[in-house]
Structure 1
Amino acid sequence: MADRWLIVGLGNPGREYEKTRHNIGQLVLDQLSENQKFSSHKSRMQISEIKLDGQNVVLAKSLGYMNESGGPAKSLADFYKIDLDKIIAIHDELDLPFNNLRIKLGGG
């Protein structure tokens, strides 16, 4: 497998979600990419490739709704030959107070 990471920023499409907590995953990717342009990919995601702390990283923003992002994320991981243990999904968690972080291994 490729020595590369995939960071998926989850959110929902539409102006009502733009710049809201619900799209925090995509907003984090904008910061990580230093606002480089994202290009469309056949996986139904927008991507940007960067180096982060010396590591090759594919940043991916879901173009669909959050609950429909699993298939496109898997397609992208398959395309780049990225191991499952090198995939990070960033999303909001309304059960946690704002500014709190939960790290979870495995699962969907």
Structure 2
Amino acid sequence: MKRITLAMIATLALTGCHTIHFDYQEPVVSNAAKSTDEWHHNVALALVEVSKPVDLAQNCGANGWASVKTETTFLNGLPVAVIPYLGLIWTPKTATVQCQ
């Protein structure tokens, strides 16, 4: 039991979150703009993306996009941290599109 507890603590300590921003021009500071979140799924050590690309025209229409953020959040990392070796097979991420 002690080894399992230490393994869980080590797994949680080594699990990290990251964020990547893609800004069209200036970063969006207004929260009034439309924003959508989608989960994206990667497999095989996160080398293969199995989700469809984010459709910016469908999300924002004629207004255009201002910012796209891809991140591994705590909720994305939770299943990977709880189930050993799941991260080798499946790696979820959250993509957030903010429109102008």
TM-score between both structures, scaled by the size of structure 2: 0.27
Q: More strand by proportion, 1 or 2?
A: 2
Between structures 1 and 2, the one with greater helix share: 2
Instruction: Please give the TM-score of this superposition, normalised by the length of structure 1.
Output: 0.26
